[in-house]
């Protein structure tokens, strides 16, 4: 099992190149970063878990810029989005950004993708919340087509383009891993059909265990291999890590979402690194 860091890189946090280097130096396997393009001031939608929206949601840097900076300062660290709001991104630009990052990092990029939950934010991008899941699936399909075909074309309800050339292609073949975030049976069906695995939200370990079991059942019913799972822990301790490890997950991400200065970031990384070492002994 691998251990990584999940954070929202903000303008008042440790810069992403220094952050990536610090994470790699402490033996972590990956860095995953969050995305919000903006937060509307007037809104009715509230975060499903935390209520009002914390400041790091609207102070975060563009994830592809952050991860590119981290890529130039590291050599082994896996670099991912958790999650990229695909329904707010043009698929042709997303394919190029992601493939460029995969090239710059020598094949270390992973795309965590989702439809999002903040309806006012997606509406500002011209996305209808009612059709965001269908839009997500089409845009992911178009991105994979652009990644893998020399003359790429796609014809769907929301995405439609005739044959095009686009380079670079990703270093990883057939393409970087694609993880779908979310929760529930409809999400699990999409994970089995459209992705390499589940990027689970920060939920209690018991709920995660139920999700892992249900995902395996859906995959078995579809005649597919059980997808890999990334777990997210916001307040990890040894017992939680051991419980998650027993589920056979591919990776655990430790959430660091309320960090506002470099010294606090480094202290938290040291604490989490020591925790991993204790569990590994």
User: What is the CATH number for 168?
Assistant: 3.20.20.30
Peptide bond into 249 cis (omega under 30): no
Does residue 48 have a pLDDT over 80?
A: no
Structure tokens at 141: 């399909």
Range of the domain at 78: 2-280
Q: How far is CA 261 from CA 12, 204, 265, in A?
A: 7, 28, 6
Q: What is the mean pLDDT of residues 218-234?
A: 96
Q: If pLDDT is split at 50, 70 and 90, which confidence band does 49 have?
A: low
- 245-258: average pLDDT: 94
* Residue 44, burial from CB neighbour count under 10 angstroms (0-12, 13-18, 19+): exposed
Instruction: State if pTM tops 0.85.
Output: yes
Joined together, the tokens standing for residue 66 give 């952050």
137: nearest Cα among 82, 192, 199: 192
State mean pLDDT over 261-279.
93
Please state, as a whole number, how many other Cβ atoms lie within 10 Å of the Cβ of residue 150.
9
User: Residues 166-171: contacts with CB within 8 Å, 24+ apart?
Assistant: 166/92, 166/95, 166/96, 166/99, 167/99, 168/96, 168/99, 168/100, 168/102, 168/103, 169/99, 170/98, 170/99, 170/102, 170/103, 170/107, 170/109, 171/102, 171/103, 171/106, 171/107
What value does the mean pLDDT take over residues 39-48?
Answer: 78
User: What would the pLDDT profile of 202-225 be if each residue is shown by its tens digit?
Assistant: 999 999 999 999 999 999 999 999
Q: What pLDDT score does 55 carry?
A: 81
Per-residue confidence band for 40, with pLDDT thresholds at 50, 70 and 90: very high
Beta bridge pairs of residue 10: 60
What is the spatial distance between Cα 42 and Cα 10, in angstroms, rounded to a whole number? Answer: 22
Number of domains observed in the structure of the chain: 1
Q: Which helix (H) or strand (E) holds 262?
A: helix 262-280
Percent of the chain with pLDDT over 90: 87
Indicate if the pLDDT at residue 47 is higher than 60: yes
| Mean pLDDT for the stretch of residues 23-52 | 86
Tell me the pLDDT band of 50, cut-offs 50, 70 and 90: low
Report pLDDT digits (tens) over 130-177. Answer: 999 999 999 999 999 999 999 999 999 999 999 999 999 999 999 999
Predicted pLDDT at 66: 98
């Amino acid at each position: 099992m691998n251990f990584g860091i999940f954070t929202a890189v903000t303008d008042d946090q440790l810069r992403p190149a220094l952050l990536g280097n610090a994470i790699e130096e402490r033996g972590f396997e990956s860095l995953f970063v969050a995305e919000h393009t903006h937060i509307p001031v007037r809104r009715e939608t509230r975060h499903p878990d935390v209520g009002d929206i914390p400041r790091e949601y609207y102070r975060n840097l563009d994830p592809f810029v952050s991860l590119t900076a981290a890529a130039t300062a590291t050599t082994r660290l896996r670099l991912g989005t958790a999650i990229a709001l695909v329904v707010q991104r043009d698929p042709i630009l997303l394919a190029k950004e992601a493939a460029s990052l995969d090239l710059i990092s020598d094949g270390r990029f992973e795309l965590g993708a989702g439809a999002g939950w903040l309806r006012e934010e997606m509406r500002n991008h011209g996305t209808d919340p009612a059709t965001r899941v269908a839009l997500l699936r089409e845009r992911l399909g178009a991105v994979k087509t652009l990644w893998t075909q020399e003359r790429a074309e796609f014809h769907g309800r929301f995405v439609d383009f005739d044959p095009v050339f686009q380079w670079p292609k990703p270093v990883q073949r057939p393409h970087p891993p694609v993880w779908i975030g979310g929760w529930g049976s409809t999400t699990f069906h999409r994970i089995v059909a459209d992705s390499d695995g589940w990027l689970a939200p920060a939920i209690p370990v018991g709920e995660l265990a139920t999700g892992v079991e249900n995902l395996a059942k859906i995959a078995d019913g579809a005649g597919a291999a059980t997808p890999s799972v990334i777990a997210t822990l916001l307040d990890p301790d040894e017992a939680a890590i051991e419980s998650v490890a027993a589920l056979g997950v591919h990776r655990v991400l430790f959430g660091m979402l309320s960090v506002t200065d470099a010294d606090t970031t480094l202290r938290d990384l040291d604490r989490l690194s020591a925790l991993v070492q204790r569990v590994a002994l």
